[in-house]
Every structure is written in C-alpha cells, then in structure tokens.
Structure 1
C-alpha cells in the first residue's frame, strides 16, 4: 500500500508543480498581471482552503472518503481547464479580463481540492496502522520532496530555453504545454490508488452534528493548544512571504538559478529529516520532534538577519535549517490524528491544516502591506551594531513570533509520548548494540 501512495504523491506533486507556483505566476505576468493580481494568486490556495471544514458534512452524506476524494479530484481537474484556455484569444470571454477568470478558476479548484484532500488524509489514516503513521506519512513526504527536487528546476530551465528560442508572442505556448503535462499527471496520479480498500467512515452513535464536533475539538485541551500553536506559527510564517522574496531578488541580488539551488538545499535536508522524524514519532511520540523541528527551523531566520549584499551566502544556513520543517509538518499532523477520533477526523485535520493556511494567507497580505509602508518611509531599526533594513525588521518580528509559538505546546499531552529519560535510555541501549 505504501508504494501505491508514494506513486500517487509523486505523480500528483509533479503535475501540481507544473500547473501552479512559478509557472502560473509567469503565465499571469505574460497576460500583464499587476502586483495586486499576483498577490491574489499567491494567497488564494491558502485562504480558500477553509472549505475543507465542510468535508465532514459531505462525508456524512456520501459515506465514503475514497469516493469523495476521487470525485473531488476529478471535479478540481475539470475546473482547472479554464486557466490555460485564457492563453488563447479565441477562448476568452468577451468583455471579461482573462486574469479574473484565472483567479476564479483557481479559487474554485482549490475549494473543491481542499475538501478532497481532507477526505484523502482521513482515508489514509484508516488504511495505515496507527503505530506506523510516522513512517507511513514520512514516506509520502519523501516522495513529494523527490518530485520537487527535480521537476520545477527542469521545467523552469526548459521554459527559459523556450523563450530564448522562440518569438515573444509564442511565450504562452510554453505554459500551455507545461499545464497539459501537469494536468495529465494529476489525473494519472489517481490510478495507483484506485484499488486501495475503502474502510467505512465510522462515526459514533448518535451521530454528532458539525457544530458539536467543532465544540468538542475546542474543549479537548491538548487539541485546542495544538491548534493555537499551529495557527500562531502559520501567521508568523506568512508574515515574511513578501520580505523573503523582496530581499532575495532585491538587495541580495539572488538570481533564479541560485534560488533553485537554495530550494534544493532545503529539500535535500528534508529527505533524511522526514525519515528520522517518522521513526521517532512511531517509537517516542510526536510532541518532541514537533518542538525540535519548530525551534530549529525558526532559528533559520537568524541567518537572514546576518545576510547582506556583500555576505548573501548566509541565506544557505536559513534554507538548511528550514529542512527541519519536515519534522514539524509530519509530527504536527500525526499529533492531530492522535488527538482526534479515529476515522471521524476530517474536521480536526481541517482545523489544523486549513485554518492554518488561512492564517498564513491573511498574514501574507498584511506582511506585504507592512513591507510597502516600511520601504516608503525608509524605516530601519538599530540593535547595538546591527542595523536592520525594512525586510529584516519583518523577519526579526517573525522570528520572535515563531519561537513564541512553542509556548502553546507546553500544555499539550501526547498520548503516545514518552518521557525524555526513557528516550535517552533507549538511545543509550541503541548505541551499545
């Protein structure tokens, strides 16, 4: 089963990377998108993902998480087709800006895909034994990282080569080709898992309403503090979206090739971190790797404060530290599954992941507005001999907020967690073998 899920993840991630991110933004730029449209395209996937909160309501009526996932995925692929059609004059809607059609199609796609993805995670959590969740989801994460290490880089350079070899008016064709390949791969991704079992969606009797599930989730002390931690961290992370990219491509002068190299450093670091975290989670619980992952990954922002146009190489340290976000992501999701009811866990997953995405999206808009204000007033902060520019001011505030998010984990009780002294003893026994 694990190999089928890995193939599904690899194919889907490969296809998604060719239809979103840099490819989508370059496509929008070719259609003369302004800064506001670009900002909207960046935050849509996170903000509309709140639709995942409605997954349980749908599951109660359909009764099958597998059917919801497959139907939602197919519908999302259909809605996506409106995006590449805007690249052709003959398929555009008269009197309507094609960029707003792209925005609408992207939003509808992610609204549907978010519901499908919550059903997918809940379905997988029932297929895999609970004591193997760590390694199971680590393998899925590794498959995703392998795809991201290769495909965006190759696709990006092929796109650049196309622009060099063809006339400017043919630039959109490169995106149309990439989109068609990516769209096909996302459809093919359903094939490896088509025959996986469809365990029944088990709910307590009498069936609780959606509102009572929200209420009970919030009353669960450990789950409540875990959710607050995740929302706080997501907001702190989103705050720096504009600052990171603005500082990289502005004062630091990082080119696209070097940017891809930095991304590869982070993803290479995530590969061993994912596997190690999965094993630790299965044997010692999820809270400890979650805390370690958040602290080390957040500390990567220190390197951004040290980076200057003359010493830009400090950012390599930041991207290496960000490899520890793999630990935070795997352990955080697994801890949510552990604290949620078995099978009937779509709402808890959506509260953790989708509300977190909404927080990141909204704070991304706030961070962009704040950065613009700081740049206009040429604001700087001085701390001893260290002088922070407008980009670094936002990064410093985000760093403190990310570290502070760990405080919310103190009251969280991990049902499968083991005391630190037991972990140390287990490590000592392992060394003596």
Structure 2
C-alpha cells in the first residue's frame, strides 16, 4: 500500500493545477538564478571574511543544517490547518528574509568581518529553513495532485521549466553585472550584487501567484483543514512524535535514505574545492563559469522530459543507475585539469547534464516509496537527514582545504596536490553509491496500482 489514488478532483482542475505548477517552477527558477548562493559567497568576500574555504563551506552548508528542522514540517502543517496556506506563508516569509539580507550586508553596519559573516550565514540559514518548510508541503501537495501513472512525466516537464528558468536567471545576472560595470565602473561590487538579488526576490515573489490558484485535492469547499478531511488519512491519525522517525523503520525507504546520505556526504566533501579551484587554481573568470553552468542547465533542459518518460516506463531506479556513474565522473575531469590544460574541466559540466536523471527520478522514487498517509513526514525525513550529511561534509571539506591546500600527497608512487586528491576521492566514493542504489527495491507501477486500498 505504497500509494493511494488522490481524492476525487475534476480532470480539468488537475490539468490546470499541473500548468500552475509548471509556471511556479519556471518563474521561481529565474529568481533563483539571479539570487543564488554564488551571490552570497561574493557578498561574504566583500566583507573580507577570513578563511576562504571555511567561509564558502559555511555558506553552502548552513542551509542544509537548518534543513534538519524540516522534520517538524508535518506537525506544523497540521497546526497551521492547511498545507496550501502553510506553503504560501513559508515561501513568503523566506522571501522577506532574503529581501533584507543584501541590504543588511550593504549597510556595512555589521561590525567586524567575522560578525558580518555570522549574521550573513544565520540570515541565509533562516531563509532556506522557511523555503524548505514550504517545499515539504509543496511536494506532498503535488504528490496528491498528480496521479502516479504520469508523475514521472510531470516531474520531468517541471524540471525542464525550472532548468530553463535557472539558465535565464544566470545569464541575466551575468549580462547585468558585466553591463553595469562597463557602463559605470565606479559602482561598488556589493551594489551590483544587491540589485541582482532584489530582482531575483521579485521574480520568486511573482512565482507564488500560480501556487495561490493551484487546487489542493485535500481541500474541500469551505473546509480547507487537513484535520477536517472526512474519512481521510489525516483525519484518522493524530499527530505522533514518532511519525518523524517512522521512515527509518520502513526497510525500502531506509535504503533510500542510506543512498541519499552516502551520495550527499561524498558530494559535499569536495564542494568548497570545486568552487575555489577554478578561480584560484585555473584562473577561470566568473563569466566563463556562468557560461558552463548555463550550458549544463540547457543540456538538462533537453533531456529532463525524456528522463521522466523513461522513469514511467522502466522505473526510476534503472534511470538513476545509469545517471549516477556518469554524474560521479565529474570530479575526474577536474582531476586532469591544470593551468596549462584547463579545458579538461569543461568535461565535468558536460557529464553533469546527467544530473537531470537524478533530479527527476529521486523525488519520484521518494514519493513512490512513501505511504500516502505520511508523505510529508517521509519527505521531510529524507531531505533533513541527507541535508545534514551534505552540510557536515561541506564544512569538513572547507576546513580541510584551509589546512591542506598547499600540501602534497603520495599515492601509488605519484605525487598529488590536495585538489587532485580531493577530486580522485570524490570520483571513487560517488561511484560507489551505485551499490546502495542497487539494493533499493522499487515497486512496479502495476503493483502500485493493485495495492491502492486507501490509507
């Protein structure tokens, strides 16, 4: 009984809801491309924060650490009375925090650089916490809105819209910053970043409009509370503190969590190095990095719908088993990159196009394995636990970078610097995630349909 049919909703309302979900994802992604973690990293550098590796790792990891509090999302949704209102309120508050963040840094009234970095990280953390709480409610909402038989295609199309939006946002940010600096070179860097961030906030705020009109299958006319749903799963279950750890007792979902933790940890441990090595070791400009990121997004845009169709026909696990080794080979291209042969790193951004398979199939597999009555709890548990793993490894990687960035290591009779050793380690450990993914048993679509017996 992994999935039950969503409550009755007219077909035209479901189609309308899916269109609104596409619009929400596309517009939000444009704003996200304008106001990204790269912006916050550059703001931190404007503050003169010491220890580049640790500073970058804290900015990258702090939102994931805050994400652990997403475990409380199911109880907060019940307390709020409506996952739709909870989702909208969480997103709106997160944008309010993000809108104040650049202005707060721009005033230069934060004291020492260390104090400024702490305030910056805390504010960034609160923004992501609120955003993640809203995302838990949104995933549960979409899980009931979209039938299982077409969910893979839906997620693939939504991913395509989001990738397109992020590509547009990143290109717009790059063109805006270059044009503004060429036209008015006397404009300080922090002001350029603030303007781009505020435009991004405006785009993300506009993305809430489609959500406001998107139907919620659990909501009744004049009766929007989850607790008031007659005969529904939520009406039959009282809030239980153990529901937050229930996913760990589910064998198949626990295996998915193991995979998520493994891949997240060994993905995060090289994050700081991947951000700093192109700029410091290879002297790659920010503009060229944005071009590479945009090319990757466009590649993902092209294949995301196909990944969704493959997931519906073959299952999510086969697509992920094919995508994961390709994605894991990315650090290997960084390993071969040198200042003289820097072009090797372009290969990493080409193979990372295969992230589309993971981005589409991992959420779909998660929704497929989670029981209908506890979707929100299962989703929150997965993202919180795996997020904590990537946060811990990102901070660890940043500290290791500051300690050993000039060190050299011998392996199998060859000398490697810290960057090369990190990239080789990242390739091997990420590839080993295939073994954990192989252990997950995905229920077939036909068996899922046969087992639909309600709660």
Is residue 161 from structure 1 mapped to residue 164 from structure 2 by the alignment? no
Aligned to 1:320: 350
Assess, with a 3 A threshold, how the Cα gap between structure 1 residues 371 and 417 changes in structure 2: closer, same or farther: farther
Give 1:16-415 correspondences, 5 Å limit: 16-34=32-50, 35=52, 36-87=54-105, 89=107, 92=109, 97-166=115-184, 168=186, 170-200=188-218, 201=226, 202-203=232-233, 206-207=236-237, 209-342=239-372, 344-376=374-406, 378-383=407-412, 387-415=415-443
Alpha carbons 2:252, 2:440 under 8 Å: kept: yes
Q: Is the 8 A contact 1:69 1:120 kept in 2?
A: yes
Query: Would the aligned equivalents of 1:284 and 1:417 in 2 still touch at CA under 8 Å?
Result: no
Q: Deviations over 1:47-101 (max 9, x none)?
A: 2112211111112223321111011111212222331332554x94789944443
Report the Cα distance in structure 1 between the residues aligned to 2:102 and 2:287, rounded to whole angstroms: 26
Change (3 A) 1:216 1:239: same
Aligned-pair CA distance for 1:367: 1.1
CA contact (8 A) 1:64 1:198 kept: no
Note closer, same or farther for the CA distance 1:81–1:407 as it changes in structure 2 (3 Å cut): same
Quick one: structure 1 residues 260 and 176, their matched pair in 2 at CA, closer, same or farther if it must change by over 3 Å?
A: closer
Would the aligned equivalents of 2:409 and 2:418 in 1 still touch at CA under 8 Å? yes
Q: Secondary structure at the match of 1:381?
A: strand
Rate the CA distance shift 1:304–1:174 in 2: closer, same or farther, 3 A.
closer
CA shift for structure 1 position 398: 1.6
- Structure 2 counterpart SS, 1:197: coil
Shift of 1:302: 2.5
1:5 aligned onto 2:33: no
- Taking the aligned partners of 1:198 and 1:2, their CA distance within structure 2 comes to 11
Secondary structure (helix, strand or coil) at the match of 1:380 reads: strand
Structure 1 residues without counterparts, runs of 5 or longer: 419-433
- Please give the alpha-carbon distance, in whole angstroms, between the structure 2 residues aligned to 1:260 and 1:176: 18
Partners of 1:383 and 1:401 lie apart in 2 by 18
Deviation at 1:295, TM superposition (A): 1.5
- Matched residue, 1:421: none
Structure 1 segments of 4+ aligned residues over 6 angstroms from their partners: 93-96
Give distance in 2, aligned partners of 1:280 and 1:256: 35
Q: Higher relative contact order at CA 8 Å, sep ≥6: structure 1 or structure 2?
A: 2
Relative to structure 1, the CA distance from residue 293 to residue 417 in structure 2 (aligned partners, 3 Å threshold; closer, same or farther) is farther
Q: Separation in 1 of the partners of 2:319 and 2:445?
A: 10
For the residue of structure 2 that corresponds to 1:345, the secondary structure is helix
Structure 2 unpaired stretches of 5+: 1-16, 219-225, 227-231, 447-455
1:81 alignment partner, SS class: helix
Report the Cα offset of residue 26 of structure 1.
Answer: 2.2
TM-score (norm 2): 0.84
Match of 1:253, SS? coil
Pair 1:417–1:410, CA change in 2 (3 A):
farther
